[in-house]
Structure 1
Amino acid sequence: MANTSMEETVAESQYCKDLDPISKQRYTKLISKYVGSDPYVMKMSEFSTELRDLPAVEAVDITNYLVLQTSYYTRQQMKAYKSLEAYNFFVSGWVNHLGTKRLRDNHRLVFARVNHSQRSNETPLKTWIIAKEDGEVIAAHCNCMAGLSESCSHVGAVLFSIEAGVKMRDTASCTSEQCKWLIPSHVKKISAAPVALIDFSSAKSKKQKLDRSFEGRTPENPFQRVEMG
């Protein structure tokens, strides 16, 4: 009997089937090597929402992947401003249904839904990330128009969400109950509001505010509770 490779037998989503031949080969090679199944055919019940299961992604891991690592397709580095844009997506509450699945060889698959950049009222995008348990990011993908670059702003937003979850898990000054209120809650729809009620803070200032909250240097909890399920 002829040997059949995992790449030939892996369950494929319709998204995968619709890819051009070169992109499909790259996509199936990644999921075959690390996951064994297309994340886009998995159910959310297969993923854990417990913080203890998240890979230990830190700022240096995000920088290495988003800013320093070369894109497989464009062969160009992702510019630093893109990482700030991605952080703004995170603090704006565009990431939801974050879940983690343990893989072989101490790898983790993190799956999340992220609002569209320009069309927040449409069905959220699906984004997945493969990382080692120690936080090193191996690969990522999103079903947005720029997802084939493996480093779009939606991927960045999920990475920042993971980083925040890890800080919640590991910060001694933050009790489990207090930490539940630090991550930005999911925003399903952006409604009109008076200018006086709109937060025009930059992504950088929001990051500093969140970091201070994790470190217990401010009594305020500037964000609402995250929706994990």
Structure 2
Amino acid sequence: MELSEYAQDPYLIHPQTCSQDVENFPKIEFPDIVMYLVDTKSAYTMQQLKGYKGLDAYKYATCGWVKQVAVKVFGSYVVVLGKVLHSQRLNEPMLQPWIIAEKEGNICSAHCTCIAGLGEVCTHVGALLFTVELNVRDLEETTVTGKKAYWMPPSGKPAQPQRVSNIDFSVPKKRLPRDEPLTVRDKGQENIPSLSRTERQELLNLFASTSQGSAAHLITNPFAQSKKEERDQKKKHWITTLFSEDHIHKSL
């Protein structure tokens, strides 16, 4: 590969030497992503990557889980660096995928610091690819009177627990980019008083009368204790049904 003449590990590229200008991004399109994740042969195993799960990474990109995207140009090749939040452990250090692609969009190779990333394809690599594709597409769709390279990397603030009423559940596609700040949609829902102890107990009693109950019953006594005793009885029943006289003389 022509890129080998530069002989530089992507993880050793200093961020200050990179660019966040979308105009420097490789012109990656959706077919390029599918071709790489599914059909490309690994340089190590010569087998097709078949990373179908990587196609699910679109939601990672649109939900802002990809941070600090930057590129470094080496001749006709572009190295794309980025950081991606863990899917289940948002407060842990972010994963660091990188991509090597030609300027015209052909994807040559990729890597990630997650376990699956050693195989050159994972959800985080896919998320970085889709982030590049989304922003390149936005740039190309900008009119001549529009702002040049208006895309800004999402902030790297750690995720904190919030009330459901404060979480933005808007469709991801409409969230990129956001033209208006998040506002309370229903002014009548701003000041809803908390349930009193009596009201809460009445609500739990009402749910308890249903066949399934609710998750609150698993952590609230006396319902939680009753559920535990019910589970213990079922376990005892299961264990006794495993015994058979036919096997009593068999050795372990």
- The answer to whether the 8 A contact 1:91-1:184 is kept is no
Aligned to 1:117: 87
Q: Is the partner of 1:111 in helix, strand or coil?
A: strand
Q: CA deviation at 1:89?
A: 1.3
1:148 — aligned with what? 118
8 Å Cα contact 1:48-1:101 kept in structure 2: yes
Separation in 1 of the partners of 2:17 and 2:33?
A: 25
* Alpha-carbon distance between aligned partners in 2 of 1:93 and 1:149, rounded to the nearest angstrom: 24
Computing the radius of gyration from Cα coordinates, the structure with the larger value is 2
Greater alpha carbon shift after TM alignment, 42-51 vs 73-82: 73-82
Cα 1:81/1:39, change in 2 over 3 Å: closer
* Residue 192 of structure 2 is aligned to residue 221 of structure 1: no
Greater mean deviation of Cα atoms: 141-150 or 183-192: 183-192
Please name the residue that 1:193 is paired with: 162
Q: What is the percentage of aligned positions where both structures have the same residue?
A: 34
CA contact 1:121–1:188 (8 Å) conserved in 2: no
1:31 to 1:152, Cα distance in 2 relative to 1, 3 A: farther
1:159-178 aligned within 5 A: 159-173=129-143, 175-176=146-147
Contact 2:86 2:95 in 1 (8 A): yes
Tell me which amino acid in the other structure corresponds to 2:81: F
TM-score, normalised with respect to structure 1: 0.66
Residues 95 and 186, structure 1, Cα contact 8 Å, conserved in 2: no
Cα displacement (A) at 1:190: 1.9
Tell me if structure 2 keeps the 8 A contact 1:73–1:148: no
**Take 2:159 and 2:131, find their aligned partners in 1: how far apart are those partners?**
20
Match of 2:96 in 1: 126
Tell me what 2:31 maps to: 60
Residue number in structure 2 paired with 1:90: 61
- Once residues 223 and 51 of structure 1 are traced to their aligned partners in structure 2, the CA distance between those partners, rounded to angstroms, is 23
Go from structure 1 to structure 2 and tell me whether the alpha carbon gap of 1:31 and 1:39 turns closer, same or farther (over 3 Å shift): farther
The answer on whether the counterparts of 2:99 and 2:125 sit within 8 Å (CA) in structure 1 is yes
Tell me the distance in 1 between the aligned counterparts of 2:15 and 2:125: 18
For the residues of structure 1 that align with 2:97 and 2:172, how far apart are their CA atoms? 23
In 1, the alpha carbon distance for the partners of 2:16 and 2:120 equals 25
One of 166, 169, 172 as aligned partner of 1:206: 172
> What is the CA distance between 1:70 and its match in structure 2?
4.3
Q: Distance in 2 between matches of 1:196 and 1:67?
A: 39
- Please state how far the C-alpha of 1:65 moved relative to its aligned partner: 1.1
The answer as to whether partners of 2:54 and 2:121 remain within 8 angstroms in 1 is no
CA distance in 2, matches of 1:222, 1:136: 35
Gaps of 5+ in 1: 1-29, 215-219, 225-229
Q: Kindly state the Cα deviation for residue 200 of structure 1 after the two structures are TM-superposed.
A: 5.2
Residue in 2 aligned with 1:227? none
Deviation per CA, 1:21-46, whole angstroms, max 9, x where unpaired?
xxxxxxxxx89726411111121011
Deviation track 1:93-145 (CA, whole Å, cap 9, x = no partner) reads 111111111113x1111111111222111111111100011101010001111
1:176-211 per-position Cα deviation (integer Å, ceiling 9, x unaligned) = 26x736x7724532222223444556xxx634x46x
| Number of aligned residues | 180
Runs in 1 of length 4+ with deviation above 4 angstroms? 70-74
Q: Distance in 2 between matches of 1:34 and 1:155?
A: 24
**Distance across 1 between alignment mates of 2:42 and 2:165:** 41
CA contact (8 A) 1:185 1:223 kept: no
Amino acid paired to 2:68: H
